[in-house]
A and B are shown apart, each in its own frame.
Chain A
Amino acid sequence: QQQVKQSPQSLIVQKGGISIINCAYENTAFDYFPWYQQFPGKGPALLIAIRPDVSEKKEGRFTISFNKSAKQFSLHIMDSQPGDSATYFCAARDSNYQLIWGAGTKLIIKP
């Protein structure tokens, strides 16, 4: 019940295309759903986050879609750029304020 399942494991998208990464969870007590971006040799950096009372949040080219009934959420990167090439992690926060992490998606944007 504490798992967060993330897919795909890797993704290749053409420059200018839309990158979509999906996550699913079971624990309805999760109350906060952040996405992190990690470049090689760096720590994860918070990209965008959503709470379960909101169905969508947009910040620039990045959008989270949240489906509470399906217990799924996804990250959409519009107009994907080579600089977006990184590993993306979804996470969910439990009642102890701990983050439960997805397995990660390695995104490559082809120029």
Chain B
Amino acid sequence: SAVISQKPSRDICQRGTSLTIQCQVDSQVTMMFWYRQQPGQSLTLIATANQGSEATYESGFVIDKFPISRPNLTFSTLTVSNMSPEDSSIYLCSAEGDNQRDTQYFGPGTRLTVL
């Protein structure tokens, strides 16, 4: 399995600012994913990030709002831009396992509050 860390673990931000969340994996992985999870709710996929290519965004999410970088096989960042209170949520990073594109393993999440 892959061990995933995220920074920051939580943050409180002002409306109109941007926050970049970092995700580090302890092994090289092809596919990484970014999710949003409202408290008590299921997970919603924001985008899939493959190294060396543009991220693929799900319906309702756009690159201008959620730019993603994937500079190498162990690291990715998600930026939440021009934040509003509606962006308050938990943001989760995940990566595929190292066994033939096995299932996904998750980081601990970043709890974002926008005032």
Contact surface of A with B, Cβ cutoff 8 Å:
32, 34, 36, 41-46, 49, 89, 93, 96-99, 101-104, 106
Q: CA A103 – CA B40 in complex, angstroms?
A: 9
Q: A34-B104, A102-B42, A104-B42 are in contact. List 11 more A-B contacts (CB 8 A).
A: A41-B108, A41-B111, A43-B92, A43-B106, A44-B43, A44-B92, A46-B103, A46-B105, A89-B43, A97-B101, A104-B41
Whole-angstrom distance from the CB of B112 to the nearest CB of chain A? 14
Are A43 and B48 interface neighbours, CB within 8 A? no
Q: CA A46 – CA B109 in complex, angstroms?
A: 15
| B55 at the A interface (CB under 8 A) | no
When distances are taken between beta carbons in the complex, the residues of chain B under 8 Å from A93 are 103
| B31 at the A interface (CB under 8 A) | yes
Q: How large is the interface on B (under 10, 10 to 19, 20 to 34, 35 or more residues)?
A: 20 to 34
When distances are taken between beta carbons in the complex, the residues of chain B under 8 Å from A103 are 41-42
Are A89 and B42 interface neighbours, CB within 8 A? yes
Q: CA A106 – CA B105 in complex, angstroms?
A: 20
A-B contacts, 7 of them at CB < 8 A, read: A36-B106, A41-B109, A43-B94, A43-B106, A46-B104, A97-B96, A98-B33
Are B109 and A43 interface neighbours, CB within 8 A? yes
Are B43 and A32 interface neighbours, CB within 8 A? no
Are B43 and A98 interface neighbours, CB within 8 A? no
Given contacts A34-B103, A43-B108, A45-B106, contact A97 B42 (CB under 8 A): no
| B45 at the A interface (CB under 8 A) | yes
Given contacts A97-B31, A97-B101, A99-B103, contact A42 B108 (CB under 8 A): yes
When distances are taken between beta carbons in the complex, the residues of chain B under 8 Å from A101 are 42-43
Whole-angstrom distance from the CB of A91 to the nearest CB of chain B? 8
Chain A, residue nearest B9 (CB) = A41
Chain B, residue nearest A98 (CB) = B45
Q: CA A4 – CA B43 in complex, angstroms?
A: 12
